[in-house]
Amino acid sequence: MEELIKKAIEARDESYSPYSHFKVGAALKTRSGKVYAGTNVENASYGLTVCAERVAVYKAVSAGEREFEALAVFTEADELTPPCGACRQVLWEFSKDMLIILANTKGEKRLRLSELLPMPFERKEF
């Protein structure tokens, strides 16, 4: 999984974050073994900003991928940076038990998406 973190670091270098200056890189590994990377893309209309994690997921899904094995998120913040609630929900749609790797310059932590999102929204038939 070191390679996945490396891809997240590379993606972070492409961050478009002129407003927050908070650069995030994400790399998503599919069950088929491919890796899709993403970075956060901000906008002057702040609400239009998209997180690195969702950029990676949308790239992968657009390429036909539906099952994911792991996601690495890298920032240079002192604290590890987990995916926001919206990104957790988007990831859940495709792979509920995927591995999430949080990394910064000091270290890393691995956990399951189900730990990060214990009560997800799921579509029910009413």
Residue 53 a catalytic site member: yes
Task: Give Cα 65 distance to the centre of its chain.
Answer: 15
Q: Output the residue with the shortest Cβ distance to Zn ion.
A: 51
Nearer to Zn ion among residue 22 and residue 32 (C-beta): 22
Question: Contacts with Zn ion: how many residues (CB under 5 A)?
Answer: 3
Per-position DSSP letters for 52-113, written without gaps between them? HHHHHHHHHHHTT---EEEEEEE--SSS--PPPHHHHHHHHTT-TT-EEEEE-SS-EEEEEH
Active-site entry in 2, 14, 42, 53: 53
Residue with Cβ nearer Zn ion (5 or 87): 87
Beta carbon of residue 83, minimum distance to Zn ion (angstroms, whole number): 5
Say if CB 63 and CB 19 are below 8 A apart: no
- Residues 32 to 91 in contact with Zn ion, rule: CB under 5 A: 51, 84, 87
Binding residues vs Zn ion (CB under 5 A): 51, 84, 87
